């Protein structure tokens, strides 16, 4: 009786703890925003804090990607690719680069949510779960670094691209060097995997409905027109919302609203800080010393999306800030939401190897980060 009672009383606390652990970033963001509101009373300027274009783009792309996932389009496509490889090295390459290229289109978080389970299925089917720490870490790195190549690959890119009104050609010019170095590093690590023979089995997926795939592809392309400032955000938002309500209402429910709340809260937080003269002067001076190094360091403690929103208010050097919040996603597990997603997914599938995963994670992340920061500093000096 007492045991049952004790376990019953623990249920609410366990539920609350789980809720906080899964939503730590939006909770912190909202808390910080509320605190700053005590120093800056509500007024009309609050409406100017929000980048509605960024929020609309995130909602539209996330809902369409969720719809794609509901018809298992990405899993079907990924398995088609992975099943063509017959040894362990090629299989690892396939898993890592499916995530790498997937993040360029569907954003890093969604790429990991989609392809990490595939990595587990494939490695279990090969009876090579010993490679899970390496593969999961490399998928995480690939998602963070692959997503930095496009204006819509990482959430912070969508925001900075819009905030600074960066042209597409200029964006690619800024990111081409770190992307090239990152690609070489990823390939280099994968080449260390031995070419062990594998008998790969992955359950076949039914082919997703062709007409839905075409319609969702068109809606995704429509969503990107906001990023490139072709159509007003509110027209695309309404069009995508109506389409999702008609085609797949569940997709709307699967949107990462925590990410949207985080963005909105940090818009308020950073907007208020910029209006407090003493803090504005201090932050402006700190960021001016080195937007790259300050940005990377900030990511390690408050994550890359909040860093992008916060520091954008205090520097005009968008080139180094853009690179900082992309490569700064490497490092600690909280440097990027994508890293927390990977950690939770690994714990779910292979908790006994968690210590090994953490060791591999830190070794690869900080070595990659050191090389990329060093390369960017040298490149900036050369320019």
Taking a C-beta distance cutoff of 8 angstroms, is the pair 166, 160 a contact?
A: yes
**What pLDDT does 5 receive?**
46
Could you tell me which residue, 292 or 343, shows the higher pLDDT? Answer: 292
Look up residue 351 and give its DSSP letter. G
The secondary structure of 26-93 as a DSSP string is HHHHHHHHHHHHTTS---GGGGGT--HHHHHHHHHHHHHHHHHHHTTHHHHHHHHHHTT--BHHHHHH
For 182-199, the pLDDT digits (tens) are 999 999 999 999 988 876
CA distance 259 to 251: 15
Which residues are within 8 A (CB) of 28 and not within 5 positions of it... i.e. 6 or more apart? Answer: 302
**What pLDDT does 321 receive?**
96
For 105-155, the pLDDT digits (tens) are 877 877 887 788 788 878 887 778 899 999 999 999 999 999 898 898 888
**What pLDDT does 13 receive?**
58
Q: Can you state the angle between helices 73-82 and 52-70, rounded to 10 degrees?
A: 60
**What pLDDT does 1 receive?**
44
Taking a C-beta distance cutoff of 8 angstroms, is the pair 280, 273 a contact?
A: yes
pLDDT tier for residue 15 given thresholds of 50, 70 and 90: low
Cα→Cα distances 205→81, 202, 225, 330, Å:
12, 9, 31, 33
Six-digit token pair at 283? 């932050």
Which residues are within 8 A (CB) of 236 and not within 5 positions of it... i.e. 6 or more apart? Answer: 56, 60, 222, 223, 225, 226
- pLDDT of 305 higher than 50: yes
The secondary structure of 223-256 as a DSSP string is HHHHHTTSS-HHHHHHHHHHHHHHH-HHHHHTS-
SS3 10: helix
Backbone torsions φ then ψ of 126, nearest 5 degrees: -80, -5
For 228-272, the pLDDT digits (tens) are 778 899 999 999 999 999 999 999 998 888 888 888 888 898 888
Taking a C-beta distance cutoff of 8 angstroms, is the pair 35, 270 a contact?
A: no
- Give the position of tokens 């070419």: 195
Taking a C-beta distance cutoff of 8 angstroms, is the pair 64, 216 a contact?
A: yes
């Amino acid at each position: 009786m007492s045991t049952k009672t004790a376990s019953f009383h623990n249920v609410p606390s366990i539920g609350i703890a789980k809720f906080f652990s899964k939503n730590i970033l939006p909770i912190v963001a909202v808390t910080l925003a509320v605190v700053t509101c005590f120093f800056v009373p509500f007024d009309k300027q609050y409406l100017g804090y929000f980048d509605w274009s960024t929020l609309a783009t995130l909602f539209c792309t996330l809902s369409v990607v969720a719809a794609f996932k509901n018809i298992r389009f990405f899993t079907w496509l990924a398995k088609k690719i992975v099943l063509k490889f017959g040894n362990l090295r090629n299989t690892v390459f396939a898993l890592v680069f499916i995530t790498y290229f997937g993040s360029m289109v569907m954003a890093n978080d969604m790429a990991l949510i989609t392809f990490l389970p595939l990595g587990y299925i494939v490695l279990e089917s090969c009876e090579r779960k010993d490679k899970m720490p390496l593969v999961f870490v490399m998928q995480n790195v690939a998602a963070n670094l692959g997503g930095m190549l496009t204006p819509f690959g990482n959430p912070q890119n969508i925001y900075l691209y819009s905030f600074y009104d960066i042209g597409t050609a200029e964006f690619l010019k800024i990111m081409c060097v770190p992307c090239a170095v990152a690609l070489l590093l990823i390939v280099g690590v994968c080449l260390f995997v031995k070419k062990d023979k594998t008998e790969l089995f992955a359950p076949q997926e039914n082919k997703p409905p062709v007409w839905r795939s075409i319609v969702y592809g068109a809606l995704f392309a429509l969503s990107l027109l906001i990023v490139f400032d072709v159509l007003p955000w509110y027209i695309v938002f309404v069009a995508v919302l109506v389409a999702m309500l008609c085609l797949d209402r569940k997709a709307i429910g699967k949107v990462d609203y925590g990410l949207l709340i985080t963005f909105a809260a940090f818009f308020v937080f950073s907007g208020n800080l910029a209006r407090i003269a003493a803090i504005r002067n201090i932050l402006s001076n700190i960021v001016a010393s080195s937007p790259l190094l300050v940005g990377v360091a900030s990511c390690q403690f408050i994550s890359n999306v909040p860093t992008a929103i916060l520091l954008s208010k205090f520097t005009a050097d968008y080139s180094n800030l853009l690179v900082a919040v992309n490569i700064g996603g490497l490092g600690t597990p909280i440097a990027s939401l994508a890293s927390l997603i990977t950690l939770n997914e690994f714990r779910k599938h292979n908790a006994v190897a968690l210590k090994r995963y953490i060791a591999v994670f830190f070794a690869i992340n900080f070595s990659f980060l050191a090389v990329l920061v060093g390369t960017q500093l040298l490149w900036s000096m050369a320019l």
